[in-house]
Amino acid sequence: MKINKILIANRGEIACRIIQTCQKLGIETVAIYANIERNSRHVQLANEAFCIHSETPTSAYLDIQSIIDIAKKSNADAIHPGYGFLSERAEFAQAIEVAGLIFIGAPIEALKLMGSKAAAKASMLAAGVPCVPGYHGDNQDVDFLQTEANKIGYPLLIKASSGGGGKGMKIVTIADDFIDALNSAKREALKSFGNDHVILERFITKPKHIEVQVFADSHDNVVHLFERDCSTQRRYQKIIEEAPATCISDITKQSMYKAAISAAKAVNYRGAGTIEFIVEDDEFFFMEMNTRLQVEHRVTEMITNTDLVEWQIIVAEGNELPLKQSQIQCNGHAIQVRIYAEDSFNDFLPSTGLLEQVEFPQQDNIIVDTGIQKSDSICIHFDPMIAKIVCWQETSDKCVEKTLQSMDDTFISGVKTNLPFLSEIMSLDVFSDNQIYTNSLDNGTISVAVPEIDNQIISNLAHKLYFQETNSIWQQTNHWSNSGDYFNHFKWLYHGENIVINAKFRDDSVILDDGSEEQVLENTKLYKSNKQILLIHNHHRYIFDIINHEADSHIHSNNNIVSPMPGKILQIKVSEGDKVTKDQTLIIMEAMKMELTLKANSEGNVEKVSVKENDIVSAGTVLIELV
């Protein structure tokens, strides 16, 4: 059946990305949106758009009946689920089929089977695909799971049986911590996937995450499109992906391709899928199968010169795959970085707010997938990913440099982002040497710190700002002063620290008030917004806050426990009058699909608890007062 119109049951960058392919193919698109997103980019790009009124913005994208009703109302032929939300829900695919529409995704039976990590492991073992030792059964009794955990040994990984993205995943290093970790994993799993079933697995101490892209049609054709290395992760969330992998041998790759094809055939698969393996010392184990398009599919497209969304549509129409295995070639190297709205140097807390400025690179061999634009808001209701930057070059080394340069050409203000963190990681030798494992950024093996500043950096920032002020009287007089000692005064905040400089300027140097002189650096870039100044040098991003003197004069008590962002109070661990110790957990809250643990900064007594469990709080709300 020829598909002429597609409803996209998703939002943000994935909806925009699908619309791009549909426009190329001459297919009309229908967008859905929550009320707060009526001006969003994916709504503007689609041919038609319909609002789904719901209790929360997130639930709009989970309303199966409303989505199907809109598809029928708009005369859509098919529904594309994107990734996340309903993309791997068998009941969604079933409802679409019953409605007489085409589901652009995996077969219903495969969705059901792979929707359970436990069932998936059992089917893979039956197909001869190697799996990590562990417990994948149905018994969820706490004492029984503790016994199984003790049999497997520690360190141990608890994983939600449904879903992914690191939700409901906990590492347990000793038996005494198992129960607390299990309860937390089950809470997260229930909130994220509506199912608190977990499995237990041996924890690989130096794991590499390598996944193979597979594609199948309804004519018994199954191919792979090589592999991706997704080992650079933080809290089980991939942040940098590259293809092909350079950390494993060709012999291992061939074995993985064979296992991936066997896995797809074992479940009579159709469409785009990803077989994820965990690898240690060239030994690999099946982790899970993602029965959808992956966030990182762009790196595969760049090395194979394909459009996987187009392939999805072709297969959904009942056609054969566009290429045979022998026709799929791997060319060059591609890297993707995920830009998140989060404070990487403050426990990765998500950041919310209005986007004041948004600048992305515009060059050959670079793709920017984003659903945001200037004046959009990053809110608490959705995943905090802002954009993906994907770069291609002939070799891995050249691709690393190209990606670093692309981040240098990116400026986002109004919210904090992980761009400084990404640049620092990719500048490390351990990244190029394949010494980053999936747990390296969480277990302290690799530490990424705030870039250090010195007089040279501060002087160059002042120099660039000074020469940008075209109306400066001192520039009009060629920087001459009759006293000979006029100094310009600058004051900023750098990660909470006051930075003060007094300097006078020449075209190629800066003279400080202590008599020292700093030379002007080459290859620096400056970006400025109303609240922030960004200086980039050697791929290091130095972000200075412009001081708001009114806000600067407001002093917060160090003893107060303050909400770092908008969210929901899940648990309050203390009562008024309790004595607490430094680093004791006082409150657990939920924000942007994450559990945040708020701890005491010092010893003290609980004077006041200002919130209750299930309260919704805004950023900066005082939750507990300590004395």
Asked if 485 and 590 sit in the same domain, the reply is no
pLDDT at residue 567 in the model: 81
Over the stretch 398-408, which tens digit does the pLDDT of each residue have?
999 999 999 99
Find residue 327's DSSP bridge partners.
none
CA-to-CA distance for 297 and 336, rounded, in angstroms?
Answer: 9
Q: Are 117 and 157 in contact (CB under 8 A)?
A: no
pLDDT at residue 517 in the model: 94
pLDDT beyond 70 at 472: no
Pick the catalytic residue from 270, 292, 298, 338: 292
State which residues form the domain around 587. 561-626
Percent of the chain with pLDDT over 90: 74
Find residue 599's DSSP bridge partners.
585
Find residue 202's DSSP bridge partners.
156
The CATH number that applies at residue 306 is 3.30.470.20
Stronger pLDDT, 121 or 341, i.e. the higher one: 341
CA-to-CA distance for 164 and 173, rounded, in angstroms?
Answer: 21
If pLDDT is split at 50, 70 and 90, which confidence band does 319 have? very high
Complete edge-to-edge strand list for the sheet that includes strand 198-202: 134-135, 198-202, 156-160, 169-172
Q: Are 586 and 602 in contact (CB under 8 A)?
A: no
Asked if 506 and 572 sit in the same domain, the reply is no
CA torsion sign for 574, 559, 532, 346 is: negative
Residue 462 is given by DSSP the state: H
Over the stretch 177-205, which tens digit does the pLDDT of each residue have?
999 999 999 999 998 888 899 999 988 88
Last residue of a domain, one of 495, 525, 551: 551
Stronger pLDDT, 362 or 558, i.e. the higher one: 362
What does each C-alpha distance from 522 to 462, 470, 478 come to in angstroms?
A: 14, 21, 22
pLDDT beyond 90 at 163: no
pLDDT beyond 70 at 327: yes
Cis status, amide bond into 155, omega within 30 of 0:
yes
Average pLDDT on 195-216 reads: 94
The CATH number that applies at residue 592 is 2.40.50.100
The DSSP annotation for 17-77 comes to: HHHHHHHHHT-EEEEEE-GGGTT-HHHHHSSEEEE---SSHHHHTT-HHHHHHHHHHTT-S
Q: Poorest-confidence range of 109-118, 437-446, 464-473, 546-555?
A: 546-555
Asked if 215 and 190 sit in the same domain, the reply is no
Is 292 among the residues known to form the active site? yes
Asked if 47 and 161 sit in the same domain, the reply is no
Average pLDDT on 317-336 reads: 98
Structure tokens at 57: 């913005």
pLDDT at residue 485 in the model: 52
Average pLDDT on 25-49 reads: 97
Asked if 501 and 526 sit in the same domain, the reply is yes
If pLDDT is split at 50, 70 and 90, which confidence band does 592 have? low
What does each C-alpha distance from 472 to 251, 476, 512, 623 come to in angstroms?
A: 65, 7, 19, 47
pLDDT at residue 552 in the model: 39
pLDDT beyond 70 at 471: no
pLDDT at residue 470 in the model: 45
* Encoded amino acid at 325, one letter: Q
Average pLDDT on 291-312 reads: 97
Which residue has tokens 């904090």?
A: 416
Average pLDDT, the chain: 91
Q: Which helix (H) or strand (E) holds 608?
A: strand 604-609
What does each C-alpha distance from 418 to 371, 382, 412 come to in angstroms?
A: 17, 17, 10
Task: Kindly state whether residue 304 falls inside one of the protein's structural domains.
Answer: yes
Q: Supply angle C-alpha 450, 455, 456, rounded to 5.
A: 90
Residues 6+ apart with CB under 8 A from 381: 34, 36, 56, 57, 58
Q: How many CB atoms lie within 10 A of CB 612?
A: 8
At residue 10, what are phi and psi to the nearest 5 degrees?
A: -160, -175
Alpha helices in 519-620 (DSSP H): 549-552
Asked if 477 and 363 sit in the same domain, the reply is no
Residues 6+ apart with CB under 8 A from 466: 472, 488, 505
CA-to-CA distance for 243 and 332, rounded, in angstroms?
Answer: 9
Task: Kindly state whether residue 606 falls inside one of the protein's structural domains.
Answer: yes
Asked if 222 and 286 sit in the same domain, the reply is yes
Asked if 158 and 185 sit in the same domain, the reply is yes
Q: Tell me the whole-structure pTM to 2 decimals.
A: 0.83
Last residue of a domain, one of 184, 202, 220: 202
If pLDDT is split at 50, 70 and 90, which confidence band does 394 have? very high
* Encoded amino acid at 271, one letter: G
Task: Kindly state whether residue 127 falls inside one of the protein's structural domains.
Answer: no
Q: 178: closest CA among 136, 135, 142?
A: 142
CA-to-CA distance for 111 and 67, rounded, in angstroms?
Answer: 19
CA torsion sign for 366, 359, 386, 62 is: negative
Over the stretch 473-508, which tens digit does the pLDDT of each residue have?
445 444 555 444 568 899 999 988 999 999 999 889
Last residue of a domain, one of 551, 572, 600: 551
Structure tokens at 39: 């001006």
Average pLDDT on 581-589 reads: 91
